[in-house]
Structure 1
């Protein structure tokens, strides 16, 4: 064995052990060359610069490749030394698998030109299929190991062997030969002028000329290239040698995204629900189980863009402070969710937490409703880290569903919302109705079941009127149906929330949440509306993607997504996109209108009370708050208008007023408005005035404002919300001031409290 190992050592032509532990440089032990690790935060734009991420490896440390910005280029001609024999070995622990643009390979290591048929590439195809290709005499010779994909979140030992003299290539996983292919004897690898790259494919495509694809995502350690063709016995010796160091039990790699990487990003919220990194969209499936709150979310752990959607997962004791846990759902090879785990909900069925979700673009079904169950009964884990997907759909859309209003759009069938009453499960599924190929309106299709697996279609719960209310969309997404309390006559009232969707570009915003209230007749499957006029829950342009639940206190809680609306390049350079809105309680007010308020648990974020003022003039209030320079604060403001028409507050303000955001109530039109025309000096960021009607009647104006870096949320008299985003250019845009359109006049601050808020993480 010692003799065999000594022969192997002399055949090494390149060796990266990744034992640097820290820093931006990696060393090739054999060539003694040092290479810069490409990494988005080497020279960061929105935060302080930081090193690539290093974790404990198989031996010493390992380098984490983030899937979008981490790779290594070395100026070395491997092929000149290995043109007739080559072996590559490495330890890999994938965090997630690339989408494999156009069926290509995500390289672990390569020096190749696909178009010119030059070089070699070792990497992964979609879902961790190991693939090795060499170019010789104008042809590609390759192996794909379809039946043994590399597992996520575990270490795997891989080896690739090319023997041009004897004419074959081989692949090994964990010491076992898993693939063999003949090639012409006395072959040579065709040389290439491309650079050797570790962690990214040569000449890989970009999305929108910005986002890198075909980048490896996971840990890499002990990468070696030999100028000989290793035998099966030699590969077994190498593998067992590593394995013996752990007593035969491999360590668990650390692959959770470290949110501390982004901790000083000037625009990234710190107390809102937010993915640990990269891309997120709608939160889904809020659940309370065994003393823990769970919230899931649309997530791409491979980069800050919409792509290969997973279900991210976080756990909390209070819906405010969240802990990251592994993804609950990951698209699977040859499964019904092969191209995405889309939106859905959760429910506890026979004591088992259950996810019901939209499975996207699988090999059989374009869209279907799928199910996954927690392993809680087997492992007792209250954090619900492990889930098992049911092997077939639980609901498929019939090709032709007729209603009195017209035919249901086939192929528009997604976003289940499920609840249970008196032993019956009810499901709403978002869709739309057409008649004579014209849109009638969006709808939420109602199904029932006794066991969650066998469902019967009933009828649309409600159908929108696209002609009268085009802003409510041609199709409805993300329907949510929840109780909001009893009216003055003791009648239970419910709210139906939806997101609009359009087939073609529309002047109407898809980022709104519309709602209707009414009574629920479960015996006849009827939702009897109080009014068919749609209402907005939030009049800003960033509150969308609703999900909800009734919590243990009996409150109806709604979660949302606050999209960033940033240029794609900035999202790419920042490494994250989007965050959740604050959880809000939705209820029926005494006056019969829908009320909303942020949940009371948010008070636990209060770190320091800056001011507590009562019954003073605006001038006196401004003098008292001029010392506040902060971008993470909570404000409770009650103000009497006097003779003013516009009354409000300037947020994220520079001392000279060059940058500021104006938030104000306009009494003449009964509107809450946000003016972002001076929010930023950057012309690429959205500006303008947004808002909508909030009729406060004779009530005193009450604004409850949350400022969290780029996030602004205001709640007006517990009637409406306004969610917005701002991206000030100047770092001193941290001030506040009150104002009116008549230079204060006789307006009075009845109450003003401001708190500094701390991070929720």
Structure 2
């Protein structure tokens, strides 16, 4: 019996052929619905669909991202993930295309690549640049699209620039070449948009390279691992015909495809283009309750605000896969800052002269009427410097999710010569001066001969900004490395000092590590005076906690900080995983009675506790150790309070312990060396390891250690004074045991363990 998908494809091919005078050479209906192959109906061949999880490294194998008929044009369709998905097919020959060709497909792009190498993100490609042969039909920057033809002596590029392709919506695209008249035509939704004549001094021919659906034949790469020039989005009903076409026949083919839908093109919802978190089920390293995108790469979360009953948070996102490139703003919303729902991309590079090359980090504030406003670093490589401050406002304040944002097309802040190191100007942090009609903007830069800094600007309307000079700087000769640009500046109130004056904490990121100062911010002079000049590491994980952002929660008045937890993996690791990085837990900051910073996860984190596994009080170390030995898991919160004896040594927790202890991780306070440390020397068989940490004096206190274990993520807080964020990648799945580190005479005041639930808030 003929496969039902093959039969349906053949019927579709016959109907399309009847609507066109050009005989079909190939047709991929993409109705397969499952499996790792796509049926080509003309030959009956089953072509391989490449996909990262066909042969998964960190999780069980899973099929490519087939989509159901409800989202597709006819039958099912295939989602291309932007980096690992394509279809390989045998090469077409010059003889097969001697009378010309027509290429067509239904496509719904999710985002647009930068166009590295000047190449298309191809729908269909069989191209050899050196030989100047073949075709590459696809989409380019900002939704422009077209076709390259190799004519032997030259390459011609025919492109549509005015009628750009929309994101997250179906379009029908077609390209036609007639070798007799040398006419090249491009069609959008059955309408001919471009009709040009190819030069006479060349002959079109096909190279002996495979035909590829969804990727350019000779893609640029990142680190030799990630292939660029790859389509991201949905594709359906892909066809190649042997002969040219006109608008009438292209439109007739479209009509045949839509016959079962009575001519109506389906409207896509965000879920139709979403890579579901369940795709990663079984990946022991992927966090479950920490903030993480649905898929792909993220960097620092930023621009938090509260509006209309929801918290909003944005993040640096590459929609094309788990690597740095094509920076957009991803968008989450949450009722409580611990359960997040990802929304469509909020801001994307566009051909607007403002941020054509990246929407880099920024912040959020409220205008005079209380409406949220976003500020971002507008990346534009044609401008000097290529970093300016841009602004965006909600498209519709009645939309509860504030899904769409409109960019102000002119930059709101430009760096002038003499304002910091020229060309270093990024990561605006904007906040309002109390109840006054005045806003301050901090922009990361550096001062020649001094150190990094945050440049201060002041405005009464959020659109016109007056420079006020550097916030402060330090002597980089005394503190080597701090001459670098101070990225991601954040200034938040934390309470009154012992002298009665209001204190702020200033945070930044220097070479991938977060630092802070406590001091006084004078709104009159726009200067910050630190209590101590020396920078202090915000987190003792040495490079894992970075990219700070923050805000004052208008509901509670708390100063809250978000961060990125770096993944510490190779490009190949991240390719194989399908995701890279996640956020740390939101942290609330305050000032202790001693004038020092206090930090702890926000109280809402407790709502992620799914089940209490242990609750001990006033027990011996031996009793606690025995109770811990019975608990296993990869998503836990552990709260230890320990009364130390006079004996010096290590006190803390052992996690991710294998039964034979060949793999384990220790996190502890060492009272002998007065340090908070993590020992990863036996955490994995890979490249990660060693001891990391920093100074921590327990003094005469009991040890209060809160540890959050979540896949590869480990996050700990000691006595609300220091945190330590790190990563561990045990190679064994049975490395999930717990243990206790203590000294003779210690007593356990309390020990609690909870199994934690997922952070994701599903629609």
TMscore range, shorter length: over 0.9
Query: Paired residue for 1:480?
Result: 490
Aligned: 1:49 with 2:61: yes
Q: What corresponds to 2:445 in structure 1?
A: 431
Q: CA deviation at 1:466?
A: 0.9
Cα deviation, 1:167-220, whole Å, max 9, x if unaligned, reads 211001122211111125798531321111101111223222111111111110
Tell me whether 620-629 or 320-329 shows the greater mean CA deviation.
Answer: 620-629
1:473 CA displacement: 4.3
Q: Note the alpha carbon deviations across 1:421-453, whole angstroms, 9 max, x for none.
A: 211011001100013xxxx10111110001111
Is this contact kept in 1: 2:16–2:256, CA < 8 A? Answer: no
Q: Give CA-to-partner distance per residue, 1:300-333, whole Å, 9 cap, x none.
A: 0101110010001111000001101001111112
1:232-291 Cα distance to aligned partner (Å, 9 max, x none): 222233334556735555422621232221132110101001111111000010111111
Aligned to 1:669: 673
Larger CA deviation: 721-730 vs 481-490? 481-490
Q: Note if 1:154 corresponds to 2:154.
A: no
Instruction: Assess, with a 3 A threshold, how the Cα gap between structure 1 residues 9 and 183 changes in structure 2: closer, same or farther.
Output: closer
Q: C-alpha separation between the residues in 2 aligned to 1:317 and 1:517? A: 30
Separation in structure 1 between the aligned mates of residue 16 and residue 493 of structure 2, nearest angstrom: 72
Match of residue 420, structure 1, among 416, 432, 457: 432
Q: CA deviation at 1:81?
A: 1.7
Match of 1:442 in 2: 452
Which residue pairs with 1:736 in the alignment?
A: 738
Paired position in structure 2 for 1:505: none
- Matches of 1:562 and 1:121 in 2, distance apart? 39
Normalised by the length of structure 1, the TM-score is 0.94
Match of 1:177 in 2: 192
**1:399 Cα deviation from its structure 2 partner:** 1.5
List aligned pairs for 1:403-418, cutoff 5 A.
Answer: 408-418=420-430
TM alignment of 1:93-108, pairs within 5 A: 93-108=108-123
User: In structure 2, what is the equivalent of residue 355 of structure 1?
Assistant: 374
Residue 270, structure 1, aligned to residue 288, structure 2: yes
Shift of 1:716: 0.5
1:392-418 Cα deviation digits (max 9, x unpaired): 1000000223xxxxxx21000111000
* Equivalent-residue separation in structure 1 for 2:225 and 2:727 (angstroms): 23
> What is the alpha-carbon distance in structure 1 between the residues aligned to residue 642 and residue 234 of structure 2?
56
1 CA distance for matches of 2:200 and 2:594?
Answer: 86
Cα pair 2:322 2:574 within 8 Å, conserved:
yes
Out of 183, 205, 208, the residue aligned to residue 193 of structure 1 is 208
* CA contact 1:175–1:239 (8 Å) conserved in 2: yes
By how many angstroms is 1:570 displaced? Answer: 0.6
| Cα separation, 2, equivalents of 1:605 and 1:232 | 57
Is the aligned partner of 1:516 residue 2:535?
Answer: no
Q: Work out the CA distance in 2 between the residues paired with 1:5 and 1:470.
A: 70
Q: Is the 8 A contact 1:334 1:363 kept in 2?
A: no
Residue matched to 2:347: 329
Structure-1 separation of matches of 2:303 and 2:19: 57
Superposed, 1:627-638 pairs within 5 Å as 627-638=630-641
Q: Identify the residue that residue 529 of structure 2 maps to in structure 1.
A: 528
The answer (yes or no) to whether the contact 1:164–1:187 under 8 Å persists in 2 is: no
Please state how far the C-alpha of 1:363 moved relative to its aligned partner. 2.8
- Find the aligned partners of 1:336 and 1:242 in 2 and give their Cα distance: 39
Q: 1:454-465 counterparts in 2 under 5 A?
A: 454-465=464-475
Residue pair 2:91, 2:208 contacting (<8 A) in 1 also = no
CA RMSD in angstroms comes to: 1.8
Alignment match, 1:369: 389
The CA distance in 1 between the partners of 2:366 and 2:135, in whole Å, is: 50
Q: 1:720 to 1:186 in 2, by over 3 A?
A: closer
What do residues 626-682 of structure 1 show as CA deviations (whole Å, max 9, x unaligned)?
111111100110112211322122111112110111111111332101111111112
1:251 corresponds to which of 234, 250, 267? 267
Partner residue, 1:598: 601
The residue that corresponds to 1:507 in the other structure is: none
1:404 corresponds to: none
Report deviation, 1:99: 2.0
Is residue 222 of structure 2 the alignment partner of residue 207 of structure 1? yes
How far the C-alpha of 1:153 sits from its partner, in A, is 1.0
Aligned positions, number: 734
Q: Give the distance between the partners of 1:78 and 1:41, measured in 2 at CA.
A: 32
Q: Find the partner of 1:701 among 693, 700, 703.
A: 703
The question of whether the paired residues in 1 share the 8 Å contact of 2:563 and 2:584 is answered with yes
| Structure-2 change in CA distance of 1:32 and 1:482 (3 Å) | same
Change (3 A) 1:187 1:237: farther
Unaligned runs of 5+ residues in structure 2 are 1-13
Counterpart check, 1:26 vs 2:38: yes
Deviates more, 1:655-664 or 1:234-243: 234-243
CA change 1:392–1:247 in 2 (3 A) is same
Q: Give the superposition deviation at 1:137.
A: 4.2
Judge conservation of contact 2:19–2:253 (CA < 8 Å) in 1: no
User: Structure 1 residues 134, 528: CA separation in 2 closer, same or farther (over 3 Å shift)?
Assistant: closer
Counterpart of 2:415 (choices 397, 401, 413) is: 397
The DSSP-based 3-state class of the residue aligned with 1:519 is strand
Unmatched 5+ residue regions in structure 1? 402-407, 501-509
Larger CA deviation: 8-17 vs 565-574 = 8-17
Distance verdict in 2 for CA 1:123–1:647, change over 3 Å: same
Following TM superposition, by how much is the alpha carbon of 1:533 offset from its aligned partner in structure 2, in angstroms? 2.2
Partner Cα separation in structure 1 for residue 534 and residue 49 of structure 2: 57
Please report the TM-score for the alignment, with normalisation by the length of structure 2.
0.93
Map Cα deviations across residues 360-415 of structure 1 (whole Å, 9 max, x no partner): 134334110001111133xx1121110111111000000223xxxxxx21000111
- Would you say 1:579 and 2:619 are equivalent positions? no
What's the offset of the Cα at 1:77? 2.3
**What is the aligned partner in structure 1 of residue 26 from structure 2?**
14
Q: Is the 8 Å Cα contact of residues 544 and 561 (structure 1) preserved in structure 2?
A: yes
Corresponding residue of 1:746: 745
The answer as to whether partners of 1:356 and 1:370 remain within 8 angstroms in 2 is: yes
Q: Does 1:225 align with 2:231?
A: no
Maintained 8 Å contact 2:91/2:209? no
Cα deviation, 1:97-132, whole Å, max 9, x if unaligned, reads 122222112211011211111122211222222121
Query: Which whole-Å CA distance do the structure 1 matches of 2:358 and 2:429 have between them?
Result: 18
How many angstroms does 1:23 deviate by? 2.0
Say whether residues 1:494 and 2:504 are aligned partners. yes
Report what 1:62 is aligned to.
77
Instruction: Return the match for 1:303 from 321, 325, 329.
Output: 321
Question: What secondary structure is seen at the aligned counterpart in 2 of 1:178?
Answer: strand
Mapped to 1, the partners of 2:130 and 2:534 lie a distance apart of 58
Which residue of 336, 340, 346 maps to 1:318? 336
- Determine the structure 2 residue equivalent to 1:570: 573
8 Å Cα contact 1:72-1:199 kept in structure 2: yes
- For residues 39-76 of structure 1, the C-alpha deviation after alignment (integer angstroms, 9 at most, x for no partner) is 00001000111111122211111100111000011124
Q: Which residue of 1 aligns with 2:713?
A: 711
* 2:9 matched residue in structure 1: none
Q: Does 1:260 align with 2:289?
A: no
The answer as to whether partners of 2:17 and 2:23 remain within 8 angstroms in 1 is no
- Please say if residues 165 and 185 of structure 1, whose CA atoms lie closer than 8 Å, have aligned partners that are also in contact: no
**8 Å CA contact 1:336, 1:363 repeated in 2:** no
Asked if residue 559 in structure 1 is aligned to residue 579 in structure 2, the reply is no
State how far apart, in whole Å, the 2-side matches of 1:393 and 1:555 are: 31
Cα distance in structure 2, aligned partners of 1:747 and 1:733: 27
Query: In structure 2, what is the Cα distance between the partners aligned to 1:333 and 1:83?
Result: 38
**Counterpart-to-counterpart distance in 2, 1:248 and 1:98:** 29
2:135 is paired with a residue of what secondary structure?
A: strand
